[in-house]
Amino acid sequence: MPAMAVDTLVWITGASSGIGAALAADLPFADAAVVDVSRSGGVDGAEHLPADLADPAAWALVESHLLTRLSATSARRAVFVHCAGTLDPIGPAGAVDSPAYARNVLLNAAAPQVLGHAFLKAVGGFAGMSHLYLLSSGAATRPYPGWSSYGAGKAAVEQWVRTAGEEQRRRGADGLPSCQVLAVAPGVVATAMQEQIRATAPSDLPDLDRFTGLHDRGELRAPADVARQIWSLTDRDLPSGTVLDLRTLDPAPGGHP
């Protein structure tokens, strides 16, 4: 369906697996067009925008796509959810592969900021509602040896959201179009990332027992449950700049998660 005909435009990075795939599979919007921003694609019913988000060259392509689509739409809502991320390489800083470490920094720290900026630029004159959600992690505030670049990237995401969110609140106070910008920590979710963690040597991840224990006790969160909670945020009056943990989220009005 052409972009001009839909009510809601949705972009999901990393929609080909994990939480991103769950988000794409359970849209709460009756009339939406979805763009899967990922390397592999394969999401049923979604437009695929091929992009390796660890490559800075891809960021300009995504920005151009956002500007083009949002400058020519009659949609009433625009949503961008950034799920793409990586743990590779797991291991101590100074000991792991250097090019892989650099890709981790680019994908987890730089890409969310640059893509977030691109979306805010694209919705700067958008008359409808807009939502920008960046996935975070408990690793943003708790150091996990073996995850130096991953944790630093998530900390950067949260501070970017606080700052950009404050900027959006000021835009709203001035009567300008403003976007709801949130950082969302989903908890420990049953995805391929957790499988990778459990296959890691304890020497590379000293806290491995914590994650294997969560799995063995059946305490991993289901991606579909996490996706429903994330989508519920679009109906909540959360101030732009909020950093939240979904595990502490109160039920939405009507009793839904």
Q: Which CATH number characterizes residue 184's domain?
A: 3.40.50.720
Q: Is residue 253 part of a domain?
A: no
Domain membership of residue 124 (yes or no) is: yes
> What's the CA gap between 168 and 57, in Å, rounded?
27
Q: In the beta sheet, which residues pair with residue 79?
A: 10, 131
Amino acid at residue number 239: P
Does some domain include residue 199? no
Mean pLDDT by 10 residues, the chain (257 residues): 70 94 93 94 89 97 97 94 96 98 98 98 95 97 96 98 98 96 95 92 93 93 95 96 93 50
Residue 255 lies in a domain: no
Cα–Cα distance for residue pair 126/3, rounded to 1 Å: 14
Alpha-carbon torsion 244, 123, 4, 80, what sign?
negative
In tens, the pLDDT along 90-114 reads 999 999 999 999 999 999 999 999 9
Number of domains in the chain: 1
Does 116 reside within a domain? yes
Indicate the helix (H) or strand (E) that contains 160: helix 148-173
pLDDT at residue number 40: 87
| Domain-located, residue 209 | no
Question: Do residues 110 and 154 lie in contact, with contact meaning Cβ atoms separated by under 8 Å?
Answer: no
DSSP class of 79: E
- Say if 197 falls within a structural domain: no
Residue 252: its pLDDT value, please?
56
Which two three-digit tokens encode residue 91? Answer: 């291991």
Tens digits of residue pLDDT in 109-159:
999 999 999 999 999 999 999 999 999 999 999 999 999 999 999 999 999
Tokens of 193: 């990332």
Distances (CA, A) of 149 to 5, 89, 98, 193, 227: 42, 9, 11, 15, 25
Residue 240 in domain: yes
Question: Domain range for residue 93?
Answer: 3-189+222-246
